[in-house]
Amino acid sequence: MNKILKVMKMDRITYKLFWVTSLILLAFAFVMYLTLYFFLPSFYEQYKTDQLQTGIEEIIDTSKDLTFQNAIPLLDNYAQKNNALIYLQDQEGTIIYSPSFSFINGSSQGISRATFAKPRSIEYSNNLPNSYNATIPIQFQNVNLTLVVFATFQPINEASQVLVLFLPYISFIVIVIGVGSAYLYSRFITKPLIYINQRAQKMANLDFSEKIVVRSNDELAELSNSLNDMSVNLQHTMHDLKKANQQLKSDIEKEREIEKKRREFFSIVAHELKTPLTVMKGYLEGMIYNIGPYQDRDQYLKKNHQIIESMEQLVREILSMSKLEQHTFKLQLEEVNLSGLINTITKNLDFFASQKDIQMIKQIGSQHLVYTDRILLEKACKNIVHNAIMYSPHGEKVYIDLTEDSKQQHIQIKVNNTGIKIKEEDLQQIFDPFYRIEKSRNRNTGGSGLGLYIVKQIFETLSITYSINNTEQGVQFLVTIPLTPK
């Protein structure tokens, strides 16, 4: 039932056009029938009168040049053609000739003469309402006579009566032809409109799988092309909006992640600062009140100074990290000799290595040049070597290799420390800010957790690739520096 109602709703323009067309055709047929019924008799009477008068005028004009005997064929032809009663009479009223009578030859001027009584129809012609009666003098070459013409219009009245009797048959034929024609016409006109409407509804439901097939060159074709163009433009617009929406979602997710990391960062910073401040406060209170061992103020003043230095170092690292994250600085690019840079870093860290009896073994060439920011690269490499020394057990080794690949257009720095490995779950987060493998966050066994995060920020700023992995002997940090800066 719903399907039928839907079809009827879809074809409502067809039904409207069908009924309108049917009513127009039936009204037109009805008007034509009334016109024939009421106006045909009077029109025919006027037409027949004009035809009879014209024929009489032609006979009168022609008879002037003909004798009576020669004019008889004209009279016979006129009477037969117009279905009229015609005769000639002399001045005494005697009928000289009529196609409807036979005559006895006489001797008066060579004209056949006979005396006949006038037909009854002629005697009562004046009493007939639908008839034509004319009496006109006519002149021949040999005689002057009077032409009498009589015709009746009764057959046309009978035709009107026949129209009334034939009305049921005419109505049936008109209804069948009119309704059938209206149905075919409405289907022919509305079929392309229904087709276009179906495709347009699919487009309205964002289904662009089917286009409107153009089958003509009229306004419907222009409408179809316009809808197809609109479909293409809408599809492209929706695709662009979808991409923009996805990008917006991605940006929102990134912003949320950044905000989450920012809150975590401030929480960790607060914790990192709160702990040494609490320790310092305890030392100072003990010294103020001369409690137990805190009476030795010089010792605890040195400890407070160490805490302040570590806090100052933490603040410097936080500022460096913030500067790298915001990209508020310009790189100071210059030609840097990596060999000399590595030698300088290892020389500065010899003291820390000697305290843990760690041997640093270098395999570097005499000169490897890159074009980069010297200060940032030195800071990153120093953090890497320092971490290798700090997290290696006593008596282990740290290998530093520097190799150049001219084909690949890059220089690789490999820093390997032995005697220790990093868990896989820690490798995934080791470059996160404030992340430390040693969860107790004891300052005697590790730093602030910002060292490798700063390394990550520096390398990403300088377009340097990096990775850290476990090896058979320990841990390897691999740095790949392009010879041509990006």
Per-residue pLDDT reduced to its tens digit, 226-257? 888 888 888 888 888 888 999 999 889 888 88
**What is residue 392's DSSP assignment?**
S
Residue 263 to residue 258: CA distance in whole angstroms: 9
pLDDT of residue 116: 44
pLDDT of residue 432: 78
pLDDT of residue 11: 56
pLDDT at position 47 over 80: yes
Q: Which of 20-29, 169-178, 339-348: highest mean pLDDT?
A: 339-348
State the number of CA atoms in the 13 A half-sphere of 405 facing the CB: 10
pLDDT at position 149 over 60: yes
Among residues 203, 228, 201, the alpha carbon closest in space to that of 213 is found at 228
pLDDT at position 6 over 60: no
pLDDT at position 177 over 50: yes
pLDDT at position 145 over 60: yes
pLDDT of residue 85: 87
pLDDT at position 221 over 60: yes
pLDDT of residue 111: 47
Residue 113 to residue 116: CA distance in whole angstroms: 10
Q: Which residue has the tokens 């209206």?
A: 182
Query: What pLDDT band is residue 301 in, cutting at 50, 70 and 90?
Result: confident
pLDDT at position 7 over 80: no
pLDDT of residue 399: 93
Among residues 369, 367, 364, the alpha carbon closest in space to that of 336 is found at 369
Query: What pLDDT band is residue 477 in, cutting at 50, 70 and 90?
Result: very high
User: How large a percentage of the chain has pLDDT more than 70?
Assistant: 83
Contact criterion met (CB below 8 Å) for 384 and 455: yes
User: How large a percentage of the chain has pLDDT more than 90?
Assistant: 6
pLDDT at position 128 over 80: no
Contact criterion met (CB below 8 Å) for 389 and 356: yes
CB within 8 Å of 352: residues ≥ 6 apart: 386, 389, 390
pLDDT tens by residue, 403-453 = 888 777 889 999 999 888 888 888 778 887 777 666 555 555 555 667 788
Residue 376 to residue 386: CA distance in whole angstroms: 15
Contact criterion met (CB below 8 Å) for 49 and 84: no
Quick check: helix, strand or coil at residue 140? Answer: coil
pLDDT of residue 161: 72
Q: Please give the full DSSP string across 174-204, using - where no structure is assigned.
A: HHHHHHHHHHHHHHHHHHHHHHHHHHHHHHH
The more confidently predicted of residues 169 and 89 is 89
pLDDT of residue 108: 37
Quick check: helix, strand or coil at residue 94? Answer: coil
Six-digit token pair at 19? Answer: 């009924």
pLDDT at position 13 over 90: no
pLDDT tens by residue, 92-124 = 878 888 876 544 343 334 444 444 444 544 444
**Lowest-pLDDT range, 8-17, 126-135, 164-173, 473-482?**
8-17
Q: Report the alpha-carbon angle 110-111-115, nearest 5.
A: 140
The more confidently predicted of residues 297 and 80 is 80
pLDDT of residue 453: 82
Q: Please give the full DSSP string across 112-130, using - where no structure is assigned.
A: -----PPPHHHHTGGG-SS
pLDDT of residue 152: 78
- For the chain, give me the number of helices (H) and strands (E)? 13, 11
**Lowest-pLDDT range, 114-123, 132-141, 388-397?**
114-123
Average pLDDT over the chain, rounded to whole? Answer: 78
β-pair type (333-337, 95-97): unpaired
Q: Which residue has the tokens 């039928």?
A: 4
Six-digit token pair at 368? Answer: 């490897």
- Can you say whether the dihedral through the CA atoms of 358, 363, 368, 370 is positive or negative? negative
pLDDT of residue 52: 87
- What mean pLDDT is predicted for residues 376-402? 89
pLDDT of residue 479: 93
Quick check: helix, strand or coil at residue 155? Answer: helix
Helix (H), strand (E) at residue 380: helix 374-390
For the chain, which domains are there? 13-165 (no CATH), 226-328 (1.10.287.130), 330-482 (3.30.565.10)
pLDDT of residue 126: 47
Residues forming a β-bridge with 467: 478
pLDDT of residue 398: 92
CB within 8 Å of 128: residues ≥ 6 apart: 152
Quick check: helix, strand or coil at residue 320? Answer: helix
CB within 8 Å of 479: residues ≥ 6 apart: 381, 384, 412, 413, 414, 415, 459, 464, 465, 466
- What mean pLDDT is predicted for residues 42-66? 86
